[in-house]
Amino acid sequence: MGAAAVMIDEEVWPPELLLVEHSYRARGAWGLPGGSLDSIPGDPTRPGNPSSRDDVLESALRREVAEELGIEITSVRLLRVDAIPDVAEEPGPYRLDFFYRCSPRQGFAMLRDGLASGRLKPQSPEISQMRLVPLPELNDYDLYSSGARLLRKDLPRLEPGLMQLASSKT
């Protein structure tokens, strides 16, 4: 299972999304920040595993984004769950990806300033670079398949006001 952060700054024109470039992907290098969920110890055939918390996915997402990008996130809200068939980097025939709409704890202005000044850089060798990308420019990026599907097909349906805002001209 994986968790991905959908961080969209709606205070700028056009709205911008935080994308990261993964160093380990030859194709679909650009995607959403996040990562895989660590396995929970215990017997999955026995109910009531006491080590399992209700917020395990959100915690994994917060941990991954902090470790890889040096960003704390807040306002975590489940946006979409998607079953991804046959992901080469992951074991098994399917992977479940949980997409969360969230924001940087320090705000998008601080994020933008940190990226522009070079003070905010990827903290993991898995991430080559990160940038805020205007929503109308997403098609210019070689997006990882699950993120591409969410951003190009599902996001217009899930957040119609946002997508209308991104495509309108004023």
pLDDT value at residue 140: 94
Give the CA distances from residue 163 to residues 5, 78, 166, 168, 170, in Å, rounded to whole numbers and listed in that order. 18, 18, 5, 9, 14
Q: Could you tell me which residue, 40 or 108, shows the higher pLDDT?
A: 108
Q: Please name every residue paired with 96 in a beta bridge, in sequence order, or none if there are none.
A: 83
- For residue 137, pLDDT beyond 60: yes
Report the percent of the chain where pLDDT is more than 70. Answer: 81
SS3 for 56-79 is: HHHHHHHHHHHHHHCCCEEEEEEE
Task: Tell me the pLDDT tens digit for each residue of 33-83.
Answer: 998 876 556 565 666 555 555 578 899 899 999 999 999 999 889 999 988
pLDDT value at residue 109: 97
Q: How confident is the model at residue 115 (pLDDT cuts 50, 70, 90)?
A: very high
**Do the Cβ atoms of 74 and 38 come closer than 8 Å?**
no
* DSSP state at residue 143: B
Strands 73-85 and 94-104: antiparallel
Q: Dihedral through CA 111, CA 116, CA 119, CA 125, nearest 10? A: 90
| pTM, rounded to two decimals | 0.84
pLDDT value at residue 168: 58
Q: What is the mean pLDDT of residues 21-38?
A: 88
Q: How confident is the model at residue 169 (pLDDT cuts 50, 70, 90)?
A: very low
pLDDT value at residue 170: 42
Q: What is the mean pLDDT of residues 106-133?
A: 96
